[in-house]
Amino acid sequence: MSDNLFFWAGFLAFVTLMLVLDLGVFHRKMHKVPLREALIWSVVWITLAMLFMAVIYWDYSSVSAAVARKKVLEYLTGYLIEYSLSVDNIFVFILIFSYFAVDEKVQHKVLFWGIIGALVMRAIFIFAGVALINRFHWIIYVFGVFLIYTGGKMFLDAVKGKTIQVEPEKNPVIKFARRFMRISEGYSGPDFFIRIDKKLFATPLFLVLLIVESSDLIFAVDSIPAVLAITQDPFIVFTSNIFAILGLRSLYFAVSGIMVYFKRLKIGLALVLAFIGSKMILADFIDREIPVFIPLIIVVLILSASVIWSVIENYRAARKQLS
């Protein structure tokens, strides 16, 4: 575990700076995010995430070069898992924005503040999860079984063609908000709150934000145990998680229009969760420690195979329509 406060403070300062620049400079004016801009930001966030591996190596090299290399691989594996699982978030965001007919010009703002909340919630989850594992080692088995169950359920849903359903009116957070807050009848541009007759009202856009936040909370329950199966180092888990989340907005705008074509990716994600859960359970029963690069290679192969499968299936469907 990195106990160097300089690295923790530096990372948090960097994240804060990037978020301020994002909303205060680059997206100060509300606008529809075009594909080119989304792709550029996706490349920026992925590049920053990859460059951060040099910081991790520098941090842990004070222990030994071998430890530094191991931590870099743990970070890369965790980042890849989190980034891949973010695909499910994108499906949900698409459904939420479609259900509430959210203007494309304000979607970035909703996702921005949604991710701010996600950063806080995931930080709490990560440190709570690490503390539980350190205090009660058997929690690892609970996490492992949960991941296998989640992966199995996701796999069956994907095979059956079952799609994600968004039912806002059944969301307990929305029920709570409607009961204790005044909600305006319609949208008011990018505002989450407005005043009517000197009374404060939340807008429907605020309800959308609440649903986005609660959805990410549900996804965090799956994704964070998956990374804890790779490492229990809070610095590695936290930084890999945060970089994946920070890249989620640009990923949404870059691929939301083509997500429907990656039908088999969900099967790949299900297999990844089941594999990580199995590794978590079996780790204590294997005499030798499993090298970190092995889970990394397996995860990459599973995800690559599911993407290739999706592309081939779409190509065949397209040719069948033309013939």
Most confident stretch, 63-77, 168-182, 208-222, 291-305: 63-77
pLDDT, tens digit, 9 for 90 and up, residues 181-201: 888 877 777 888 888 888 888
The structural domains of the chain, with segments of one domain joined by +, span: 5-322
Mean pLDDT of the 146-174 span: 78
Residues 31 and 107: their CA atoms lie apart, in Å, by 9
Which of the four pLDDT bands, split at 50, 70 and 90, describes residue 230? confident
Looking at residue 255, what is its pLDDT? 74
Which of the four pLDDT bands, split at 50, 70 and 90, describes residue 134? confident
Which of the four pLDDT bands, split at 50, 70 and 90, describes residue 168? low
| Total length of the chain | 323
Residue 199: CB atoms within 10 A of its CB come to 8
147 or 285, which is more confident: 147
Residues 43 and 49: their CA atoms lie apart, in Å, by 10
Q: For the chain, first and last CA: distance in Å?
A: 59
Biggest distance spanned by C-alpha atoms of the chain: 70
Q: Is the pLDDT of residue 323 over 80?
A: no
Looking at residue 73, what is its pLDDT? 93
DSSP structural state of residue 23:
I
Which of the four pLDDT bands, split at 50, 70 and 90, describes residue 163? low
Q: Is the pLDDT of residue 166 over 70?
A: no
Q: Is the pLDDT of residue 72 over 80?
A: yes
13 or 222, which is more confident: 13
Residues 118 and 115: their CA atoms lie apart, in Å, by 5
Average pLDDT taken over every residue of the chain: 83
Which of the four pLDDT bands, split at 50, 70 and 90, describes residue 1? very low
Mean pLDDT of the 95-101 span: 81
The residues, ordered by sequence, that sit 6+ positions from 118 with a Cβ below 8 Å of its Cβ are: 213, 216, 220, 245
